[in-house]
Amino acid sequence: MTPLVIKRRIVGLFLFIALSVLALGGRLFFLQILQSDDYQRQALENRLREIYIQPTRGTIYDREGRKLAFDISVDTVVANPAQVVDKEEAARLLAGVLKLDAKEVLAKLSRHSAFEWVKRKIDSDTAQQIREMNLKGIYLIEETKRYYPEGAVAAHLLGFAGIDNQGLEGIEVTYDSQLRGSLGKVLGESTALGTDIPGGFRKYIPSQDGHNLILTIDKVIQYIVERELDRIMMEFKAKSAVILVTDPSTGEVLAMGVRPTYNPNDPLSAADNWRNLAIWYNYEPGSTFKIVTAAAALEEGVVAESDGFFCRGAITVSGATISCVAAHGSQSLADVVKNSCNVGFVTIGQRLGKDSMYKYIEGFGFGKPTGISLPGEEGGILLPASQVGPVELANNAFGYGVAVTPIQMITMAGAVANDGILLQPQIVREIHDHEGNLVQAFTPKPLGQVISRETARQLSGYLQLVVAEGTGRSAAVPGYNLAGKTGTAEKLEHGHYTGDKHVASFLGYGPVEDPKLAILVVVDEPQGAYFGSLVAAPAFKTVMAESLQYLGIPPTEKIVEEGEEVYVSVPNVINLPLAEAESILKEAGLGSRTEREGNLIIDQMPRAGAKVEMGTPVILYLWNGEEQLPQLDDNEVMVPNLQGKTMREAALILSDVDLLLQAQGTGLAVKQDPEPLTVVPVGSLVEVEFAPPTP
């Protein structure tokens, strides 16, 4: 090898070394100078360990300060993989106790980290088994878990929280930001094995506990509701049921019960039952919606107390026949409401007209959500006014062709009870911080004066007759004046009414003099009996009676004690057949005794209106239709027009002018002799022919 070659190789080697040193120096300059901050940050992150501190989620109380939801302490299994010696054995043992897949546990223990969740929020027995294993690198840390001490009570209103204490349903999700609080954490320096560095950096950032909620719910009334719902579901085998109780003067919801239900402590076991039917379920309300029609008609002045209505059992509107439950004959406005007469309400709806009807339907809040503080509220279904013709208007007037939610219906009833002022329903009264300081208070939120005070009170009087004398008698509570309305609606499926599936309901409030409670009972597809008067009204009665007693609201009328003498008013039974007269007297709490032979009552003693002790027999004087009737005196009277009257109505009308009735047939009066306006002596006989009504 020549000296020149050797020299070239030496120069090449030095050039290579020089370039390598230069490249290394450049790399060091890049890492130590230009990227210094980034690598310092990464180094700090590698040796800093963050442990998050979960805040305590706010407690939820009922209106009396009784706990409905709060946090409890539970154990969570975590691992420091760097400290676990025999990973496969540890994974096998943990998977067996925690009921996990061993491969998934091994994957967590094999990761290059200092902290891994193994299983969160385990029960105390399982936690004790983990402690007894004494596995290196496996730890138990304390976390909080949401707990509902009353189980399924008010489940749909409360909702539930998830694994990270985040609200997922009900009030828990609506007020999640207030309830959750903020995370705290502990920062500390640790080695690659996850052990603390002596004298290393440590910093503590405390968590902020969530706010507490005071609800409008009363746990005692909620218990009453829950019990009645269980009875309804067991007795009628219903598909679902809802009971709502509110304070009509404030809009506060005192109880909200739904069936089927679930336990928020274990919500996944009944995930199909999470939906809150009280705010979500759209249904045709049937006759309970007649409250809206009556309120609108009274407010607009298209009906008056003195107006007369006639029901033949059906009415034809634009070629469509709308049936009524019975041929009610001649009725007053109060009778139309009391008897829940479809024909009468169709007539009222026609007088109102589409524009006025929709004005009050929308004024009472139908067709849009109420704004209650719960997720998933529906707004009901209304046809656009442009699509409403005579038949649709007629259907709307008695509660068909419109879909509502239970919360909308009880809000409407609360407005009538509250002198016509519509209030937004509320479920939260106050929000407090974790130290008990008031953060926010909720007050009644008026949405408008839908009807006048005078109209509301007049309507309450009619609705009181429904409970006292009409279709809602099974909802009456002794000693209290209550207003209410039954509802029975066929269900609409695939555009057709089923005929064999119904929604039974009862909506009411009381005491009428100063309403404290409004209650709605809705039962979907009850089996067997399906009328609102048989299915829903008894539940209303129980909830109302027990709630009034619990709230200490005294009766407005004296309740008769056993053995106490009671005086009743004698009803007028003159001109009625014997069987009907005896039935009326029995219903009034009176007995009967007959004089003479026959079937027609021509006189009675004591007279109608007399006050006698309950159980007193009324003497009934009979006529056999053959012997000559004596004229009472020489005075003369004009024969009234009995056309279209029921037999009882005709009997009472003739009795008022001292004339006697001889009836033939059943149904409504179609013919009479003497003719109307004929002048006859007092005590004369009027022959009346009755026949079933024709559509």
Residues designated as active site: 287
**Contact predicate 638/602, CB 8 Å:** no
- From CA 121, how far away is CA 106, in angstroms rounded? 20
- With tokens 């997922």, the residue in question is 168
Give strand ranges (E) for 5-148: 48-53, 60-61, 67-79, 116-122, 138-147
- DSSP H or E segment with residue 204: strand 202-205
- Structure tokens, 182: 């903020």
Which of 439, 433, 441 has its CA nearest to residue 212? 433
Cα 665 → chain centroid: 47
Angle between helices 537-551 and 219-236 (to 10 degrees): 160
Is the link from the previous residue into 511 a cis peptide, with omega within 30 of 0? Answer: yes
**Contact predicate 247/517, CB 8 Å:** yes
- From CA 294, how far away is CA 460, in angstroms rounded? 10
- How long is the chain? 695
Q: Could you tell me where the DSSP H helices lie in 512-662?
A: 532-535, 537-551, 578-587, 647-656
Q: What are phi and psi of 612, to 5 degrees?
A: -130, 165
**Contact predicate 463/291, CB 8 Å:** yes
| β-strand partners of 605 | 619
* Residue 226 to residues 216, 353, 538, Cα–Cα distance (Å): 17, 41, 15
Which of 156, 149, 183 has its CA nearest to residue 172? 156
* 488 SS3 class: strand
Q: What are phi and psi of 190, to 5 degrees?
A: -140, 160
**Contact predicate 635/682, CB 8 Å:** yes
- From CA 630, how far away is CA 621, in angstroms rounded? 13
- From CA 473, how far away is CA 532, in angstroms rounded? 11
Phi and psi based region of residue 575 (left: phi greater than 0; alpha: psi -120 to 50; beta: remaining): left
**Contact predicate 316/349, CB 8 Å:** no
Give strand ranges (E) for 525-665: 567-569, 591-595, 600-605, 611-613, 617-623, 636-638, 660-665
* 477 SS3 class: coil
Is the link from the previous residue into 285 a cis peptide, with omega within 30 of 0? Answer: no
| β-strand partners of 422 | 448
- From CA 554, how far away is CA 572, in angstroms rounded? 33
**Contact predicate 354/402, CB 8 Å:** no
Provide the Cα torsion 514, 516, 522, 523; round to 10°: -110
Return the exposure string of 61-79: e unless at least 16 CB atoms fall within 10 Å of the residue's CB, then b.
bbbeeeebbbbeebbbbbb
